[in-house]
A and B are shown apart, each in its own frame.
Chain A
């Protein structure tokens, strides 16, 4: 469902060009839980950004559900992020002025749906992530773990083809981290395709496939178990 063909991403650093990703070929199937590992600067996040349409490859091609993510307009890419991709960031990236329910419902509000309709769906998702009591709380009234759950619920509200998580527990304690991993695992068990970037081998083990990057290129790709569907 996600495919990268000889995808590279380079940046200009002063006078020289630096490759964050170099000639990556990768195929991710529906229902997979792919953990991407590697040391800092290995290109993990860049790879995730290319998959989610937050960034575009300098060379090569990226496909989501066989549709190209390269060479399309900003508007098309934006709608794709809104409707087909769910993002979970390390620093949650919730809007501080909005309640948990509003934050979760934001992608649907952008579609122009009335809040009454959005709210019931957001509340259902918040209940699914264990936050049914916190729907009217603002981010500054939530703990780190709770904020990340809200972010996960937001990522799920548009029924995305893939959920992309960038170091989702990088900012959380070990106990809370485990809760988040279990939640992601449960979602994957229900058929949700997930790609997660992490530098923690224990966390990576929650996935059913682990891809290791080094200097912008895959060095290892191991399947742990069979995908659910």
Chain B
């Protein structure tokens, strides 16, 4: 047993750090490190920089152009990006639909869709949840009826993250009502420019427009956009979930934000308040423990000797920690978390934020973070799954 990274892993980390330092635009990292508003252009700029290097799909198999990194290398890459203030990669293209196209799509689909995903040129959205199908996703109703060489799609998706920027959307649609709900679902790729597709933004409690409703009104989708076989879509979607995904713990960002919390607490004069300091200490211990859990999972993947069935724990804990550091940062700002001055959350603003500039985004971030224990499989559902493993 050994905690240290190998010399090769260390050297890999250093190479990544150097590349990120040379290629991550300073105006983008400034916004990320200070929780300022990121535009579509900011996010896509970074995606294209990664794409050009072949690192947007950094988890892709080598046969599809991936760099062939093991679990530790992927973790180190993600860590160096997070610590340097790179934006989160929008996962829907490179992390969610691409593996499905690779595993279950045909050669024509792979040739048509993967290059645009890998380069960062094409923005993908996810069409899963519906107003009546959240935790109970299998009960989804958006239907796709086969007519000739097309599917006609009718229905509504919701919580479509950044759907307002999407070029394409991958959808779970109902193609049969026979048998159990899961067995009547298909996986369909839809061009968001198609007639009949309407995107309506949903304003969240922090004022942001991060998610959308997407309406499908007799949308004609060529049948060749069906992935794999009809009514097998649920299996394809679950394929993604069967891999250990340590990055759901988001521990790298947690470390970065913990340091930011300390800086803000010092600036606001609460770091020397022992009561506040102890709250930070508790969170620090939580971050260390989460990091150790992530490393255990990574090491198990790397050696292949034992598999650790604790992915659900990583999501639960990671999301709780995200909420906690956003909460503590807001509390550090105290009363100066309260002013809601939108301009102060844009980079380069020079006005009076009523309180320090670093206070301006803190309450909004806290409000926004309430989503983390809800999305990606709510923490209650995750607990059901963990309990299933333990109780048998």
A associates with B: no
B residues adjacent to A (C-beta < 8 A): none
Query: Footprint of B on A, CB under 8 Å?
Result: none
